[in-house]
Structure 1
Amino acid sequence: MNSSPIRVLIVDDSATVRKILSDALRNAAGIEVVGTAPDPYVAREKILALKPDVLTLDIEMPRMDGLTFLKKLMEYKPMPVIMISSLGQASCHATMEAFRLGAVDVLAKPHGPYSVGDLANTLADKVRSAAQANPRAFAPSRTSAVSASQPAAGKAVASSLPAFASRRLIAIGASTGGPQTIAHIVSQFPADMPPVVITQHMPPVFTAHFAERMKKTCMMDVKEAQDGDELRPGRILIAPGDFHMTLQRSAAGARVRIAGGPLVCFSRPSVDVMFASVAQTYAEQAIGVLLTGMGSDGARGMLQMRQAGATTIAQDEATSIVFGMPREAIRMGAATSVLPLDQIASNVLTQLTQQIARKNQHAR
């Protein structure tokens, strides 16, 4: 096993931010900041000279913006990139575009009286996760969302999802590399798909922009979930950053509950929390999908889903940007299927139509 430290290059036009990020990683085990750069032109030379394993990249910089540099980098020298973004609307939208171009993660830019201690663990974890990323999965071509104007893979079965399907649920969890992977899948879902709930590890504010971005490339309605939002066909609800999302079902219908609480698997929102709630409320009427991400969040919850009778799908290693979360679910026996990214959406639709067919048979 390679014991060399993960080599990090920090690219940011702010000397203050460069120092904060460098200080945050200074004492992180197994990580070495090999250099910093104030703009992409300096960064290009330092990438060639220092050969970093991971890059942190600012969105807004002089001479060349972060998106333009990222696009060139992924074309000529693909490598794991963590975007450092402010919480402004323009920067958040640019960050969503950065995911499409191949960035693997995002960190909110430190500002004001920011504590290096507050940042250290989060940034170090993101660097370690990014360093495990699969280089073959960086290219945006595979995971770019399908245009809403294109025929989606699920379109052909839209008419075979009757009202019965509204009592079903699709639950999706992801972390590192998840935004582009999720977009690829849901862009293939028909407009009358059963309700979909998504937990993606992402900071506050960014989840709302993630929802807005997906809405443009998806036939379903997409929104960042609010407490009490109704689960209904044709709707995707995304857990807001820094809040857990659970489900509540009654004779009056099904809704999501949004609340704080302790970190679970070092995460909030947590996929485990959502999946465990799905197991309790939907059981065999649910389909769970666990995608790319570092760590184990979602594995135990997926096992609970499978034990409750749900269909469960884990993304395979070859197409995962980081295989940690799916690997753990597979190791625990939580996944009923292990599939490449390009087969997940069609398999979900196949499972739904088969469930409908079995239900109709039992009704006769």
Structure 2
Amino acid sequence: MPATTSDVLNLDGLLSAAELELRDTVRRFVQDSIKPHISDWYESAHFPLDIVQQMGALGLLGMHLTGYGCPGRSSVEYGLAAMELEAGDSGLRTFVSVQGSLAMSSIHKWGSEEQKTRFLPEMAAGRLIGCFGLTEPTAGSDPSSMATTARRDGDGGWILAGSKRWIGLASVADIAIIWAMTEDGVRGFIVPTDAPGFTATPIESKLSMRASIQCDILLEDVRLPDAALLPGARGLRGPFACLNEARYGIIWGAMGAARDSYEVALAYSLDRLQFDKPLAAYQITQLKLVNMLLEIQKGTLLAIHTGRMKDAGVLEPVQISLGKLNNVREALDVCREARSILGGNGITLDYSPLRHANNLESVRTYEGTDEVHTLILGSHITGIPAFR
């Protein structure tokens, strides 16, 4: 199949018929159910809860997990879905990531058989929403210093105390995966959000990720039975394994935001007349468009290669760091450059690039900042950890 105007490398040729079909299905969903409304959702800081079960029906929740009602799709298919969702908005892709890559993955990787059977089918269908509580007000990039504690009570259960910050979905979630320090190190717990002492408060006045929900969580002596403990997770390996699932999805998602911004800028430049000819006829505009296209093609190729490695079971965490660091950084530059082609019109919600750029400021920070991923790569290539 010949390459399209914007797929110069014919990257579609690297995808199977089934992968293309899945991508196109999600693309239609985004076109029909997200793009017509996203400007209003973003402006009003509204997350559309009614879209959750629609996503479940499409098999987008926990889609890379197998069994327990989960779709069992490949890593590449999950990545393609993430790319299309973020072409709509980072906030909607983030919901799928928090639900599937973080909350559901925690239970799937580390939960008991009873926990998996009880929670995963309902979460895959979108009838039960989960969140993932790791970050704290004073412990973002350094989770080993978390202050939230879980101690044994006299009845053999647990008492959780502490706080979490920037926790996606917490105020609308039914359960929270909370990571806490115990006498035996970091452990994970499934916490019902209606438990006495659990309070989730949405963070207001955000300039980014406005069509999604992030919260502060306060845990005031929340009592849990022993059955709430995730038995397989011990130490930071537990949450980090889930974070790497989310970071992997970002490698793809960021390219969706970049592609949408590029396509909007390209269409605008072909239609907008200045000095009696289209913006696209000027050399400077073509330079901007070409530079954007180069990074999108390279970043998408990186995502596909990373996905193939993940499906082969050979993907390493440092490779995920490389992909997340590169693709988010380049996507943010693409969105800003696309906004420049739109001129003053580009600062309105009539066009997507600045909204995408604002969102990517959050994506650049969560699941590991640029600085953290740089240090991970620096340690890998020099053999010298420089975190402290």
TM-score category of the 2 structures, normalised to the smaller one: under 0.3
* Higher RCO, Cα 8 Å, sep 6+: 2
Question: Which structure shows the higher helix fraction?
Answer: 2
TM-score (normalised: structure 2): 0.26
TM-score (normalised: structure 1): 0.27
Question: Which structure shows the higher strand fraction?
Answer: 1
